[in-house]
Amino acid sequence: MIPATRPEALAALEAFVDGPVRSYARLRNFIDPGHRDVSRLSAAISHRLVGEAEVVRAVLAVHKPATVEKFLQEVAWRSYWKGWLEARPGVWRDFADAPPSANPRASALCAASSGCEAMDAFARELVSTGYLHNHARMWWASFWIHRHNLPWREGARFFLDHLLDADAASNTLSWRWVAGLQTSGKTYLVRRSNLEAYWPDVPLEGLEALSGEPTLVPPPDTADRTVRPLDDYPRTPGTEPAVLLVHEEDLSVECALPQSFTPGAVILWRTPPRSAVRAAWLERAVAETRIRLQAAFGQEPQAASDLPSLIKCVESQSARRIVMAAPCVGPVRDALQPFLGWCATSEIPVTAVRRRWDAQVFPFAKSGFFPFWNAVRPQLEDLCR
Ligand X SMILES: Cc1cc2nc3c(=O)[nH]c(=O)nc-3n(C[C@H](O)[C@H](O)[C@H](O)COP(=O)(O)OP(=O)(O)OC[C@H]3O[C@@H](n4cnc5c(N)ncnc54)[C@H](O)[C@@H]3O)c2cc1C
Closest to ligand X by CB, 339 vs 358, is 358
- 141 lies in the binding site for ligand X (CB under 6 A): yes
Q: Under DSSP, is residue 167 helix (H, G, I), strand (E, B) or coil?
A: coil
- 174 lies in the binding site for ligand X (CB under 6 A): yes
Of 45, 41, 132, nearest in space to 82 by CA:
45
Whether residue 142 contacts residue 175, with contact meaning beta carbons closer than 8 Å, is answered with no
Of 133, 132, 220, 147, nearest in space to 188 by CA:
147
Q: Under DSSP, is residue 302 helix (H, G, I), strand (E, B) or coil?
A: strand
Closest to ligand X by CB, 30 vs 342, is 30
Q: CA–CA separation, 311 vs 339, rounded Å? A: 7
Number of amino acids touching ligand X (CB under 6 A): 28
User: Binder to ligand X among 5, 39, 252, 302 (CB under 6 A)?
Assistant: 39
Closest to ligand X by CB, 290 vs 377, is 377
CB of 133 to ligand X, least distance (A): 6
Phi, psi (5° rounding) for residue 178? -60, -40
User: Which residue type occupies 278?
Assistant: R
- 142 lies in the binding site for ligand X (CB under 6 A): no
Phi, psi (5° rounding) for residue 8? -65, -40
Within 150-169, the residues that bind ligand X by CB under 6 A are 159, 163, 165-167
| Region near ligand X per CB under 6 A, out of 75-83, 206-214, 238-246, 260-268 | 75-83
User: Which residue type occupies 33?
Assistant: P
- 82 lies in the binding site for ligand X (CB under 6 A): no
Other beta carbons within 10 Å of 32: 13
- 143 lies in the binding site for ligand X (CB under 6 A): no
The DSSP code for 245 is E
Q: Under DSSP, is residue 244 helix (H, G, I), strand (E, B) or coil?
A: strand
Closest to ligand X by CB, 137 vs 270, is 137
User: Binder to ligand X among 9, 13, 31, 45 (CB under 6 A)?
Assistant: 45
CB of 249 to ligand X, least distance (A): 12
- Chain positions contacting ligand X, by CB under 6 A: 28, 38-42, 45-46, 74-75, 77-78, 81, 133-134, 137-138, 141, 159, 163, 165-167, 170-171, 174-175, 178
